[in-house]
Amino acid sequence: MSFAAPSIGSSGGRSALKAFEFGRTYVVRPKGKHQATIVWLHGLGDNGSSWSQLLETLPLPNIKWICPTAPTRPISIFGGFPSTAWFDVGELSEDAPDDLEGLDASAAHVANLLSTEPADIKLGVGGFSMGAATALYSGTCFTVGKYGNDNPYPANLSAAVGLSGWLPCAKTLSNKLQAVGEATGRAQSFPVLLCHGKGDDVVSFKFGDKSSKCLSSTGFQDVTFKAYNGLGHYTIPEEMDEVCAWLRSKLGLEGTSA
């Protein structure tokens, strides 16, 4: 499916409309009573299939997993070579500009995937690397109540998980939260889990650490940050066990077996 997002422009000119073609979505059905639905976002160059296969093995029978595939787009960090990506990325540095248009389009895709879930189902978003960045961005859109382009954010999220990722738009988050009355309360109670390997040579550990500190300093009072010695840019069973335990606790899931 495609989602058209207006470009972000501060000038008075007309906003160009760009369509992002999202790839195939893979769904892992709950093996037990359905209590929560989580959209899980893959990393750069990957697709929804690989993560859906891993998530299916987790002892979380009450969760439905939705694993979309990002659009294929030219990527600046690859010199314009196309790859599946939730947004464009030039360099991983604190001063690199954020692709707000791409982030908003992907956050809207996540919200759209969650829009047909029953009202009594808790909703979450998570991801790995660039997918983690998009998940955290979605979490901040929920707390602020709107996307970066000021359109209202519709999904009622209950949790966000980011593995080996970073927080986009970190420098403007504090001002955005302070500008919206209800945002502070939403931030205080919104649970976030960040996990990062100290040996990560793709997304440096410092980005995960600083993202955690940024969320805490801007009023997110339920942030858990887990560091793993020797872990590179991948996941391990110990980390996924941590994710399972955290989700069970924060989403109030019934148990470990169907």
| Residue of 54, 55, 84 whose CA lies nearest to 69 | 84
Q: Using CA atoms, how far apart are residues 211 and 218, in angstroms rounded to an integer?
A: 11
Q: Using CA atoms, how far apart are residues 251 and 99, in angstroms rounded to an integer?
A: 31
How far out from the chain centre does Cα 90 lie? Answer: 19
| Residue 7 among the catalytic residues | no
Which one from 99, 138, 200, 212 is the annotated catalytic residue?
200
Task: Answer for the pair 172, 144: CB distance below 8 angstroms, yes or no.
Answer: no
Residue reference for tokens 């979309």:
68
**What six digits make up the tokens of 134?**
């998009």
| Residue 93 among the catalytic residues | no
Which one from 76, 83, 216, 233 is the annotated catalytic residue?
233
Which one from 42, 52, 106, 129 is the annotated catalytic residue?
129
Q: Using CA atoms, how far apart are residues 153 and 20, in angstroms rounded to an integer?
A: 18
| Residue 200 among the catalytic residues | yes
Catalytic residues: 129, 200, 233
